[in-house]
Amino acid sequence: MANTSTQTHAIERSYVETGLSYQSAVDRFEAAVGRIDQKTVGALAARAAPWPEVEGAIATMTGPSGLMIVALADQGAITSLAGVAIRCRLYLVGNPVIAAQIFKIDVRAALYVPFRVAIHEAAGTSGAMISFDRPSSFLGALDRPELQPIGVMLDRKIDAVVQSILRPS
């Protein structure tokens, strides 16, 4: 039988009421972070590009925060077919250059990086809500003190993205 273990760790989650319409929150979020170009990443991997070239290519894909959308699931599109209109999107957000630093310390972090950000309409709130688990808390679950400064840096990056969305346009 395989050796298994289970751990419990508190995760800090942020819920931010934006006061924006769902579509406006989505548009502002997507403008504040970059988007990975899978074709470019695939080409870099296929030819085993040197790391400095990879870093340069990634830098062109990130938004001002240094983060990018790695994947997007429009969960509301399919769940709304059940008869109730639901507007929610789940984003995987990160930066492969930062992920490389994290994975050198502990590859188990692949469970957490890139991290999840959700934008959704919620009953009883004013407009769209942005929800995310704070990177420092989920990286803290690995009990590797070397990850703490990277987690705090990622907290600051996602906080900066959220604050840029909340600023009047």
Classify domain 13-166 at the CATH topology level. Answer: TATA-Binding Protein (3.30.310)
Q: Residue 124's pLDDT is what? A: 67
Question: What residues are paired with 128 via a beta bridge?
Answer: 121
Angle at 124 between CA 86 and CA 29, to 5 degrees: 60
Closest listed residue to residue 64, CA positions, set 96, 33, 19: 33
Q: Residue 152's pLDDT is what? A: 97
Q: Residue 144's pLDDT is what? A: 94
Per-residue b or e along 43-81, where b marks 16 or more CB atoms closer than 10 Å to that residue's CB? ebeeeebeeeebeebbeebbbebbbbbbeeeeebeeeee
Q: Residue 158's pLDDT is what? A: 97
Could you give the CA distance from residue 157 to residue 64 in angstroms, rounded to a whole number? 9
Could you give the CA distance from residue 167 to residue 169 in angstroms, rounded to a whole number? 6
Give the gyration radius of the chain's Cα atoms.
Answer: 17
Per residue of the chain (169 residues), give pLDDT as tens.
677 776 777 788 999 999 999 999 999 999 999 999 999 999 999 999 999 999 999 999 998 999 999 999 999 898 888 988 889 999 999 999 999 999 999 999 999 999 999 999 977 666 899 999 999 999 999 999 999 999 999 999 999 999 999 988 6
